[in-house]
Amino acid sequence: MGRIHKPHGLKGDLIVSLLTNHTERLDAGTRLWADDHELEVLRSSPHQHRYIVTFAGLAHRDQADSLRGRTLYAEPLDEPDEVWVHELIGAQVVEADGTGHGLVEAVEANPASDILVLASGVMVPLNFVVDRSVPGVLVVEAPPGLLDPD
- Sequence letter at residue 104: V
CB 13 within 8 A of CB 7: yes
Q: In the chain, list all ranges with CATH 2.30.30.240.
A: 85-140
Confidence (pTM) = 0.55
Q: In the chain, list all ranges with CATH 2.40.30.60.
A: 2-72
Q: Does the domain at residues 2-72 carry the CATH identifier 3.40.50.450?
A: no
Task: Tell me which fold the domain 85-140 belongs to.
Answer: SH3 type barrels. (2.30.30)
Burial 38-68 (b: 16+ CB within 10 A, else e): ebebbebeeeeebbbbbbeebeebeebeebe
pLDDT in tens, the chain (150 residues): 899 999 999 999 999 999 888 889 999 999 999 988 899 999 999 999 999 999 999 999 999 999 999 999 988 666 666 677 778 999 999 998 988 999 999 999 888 888 999 999 899 999 999 998 898 999 999 888 888 776
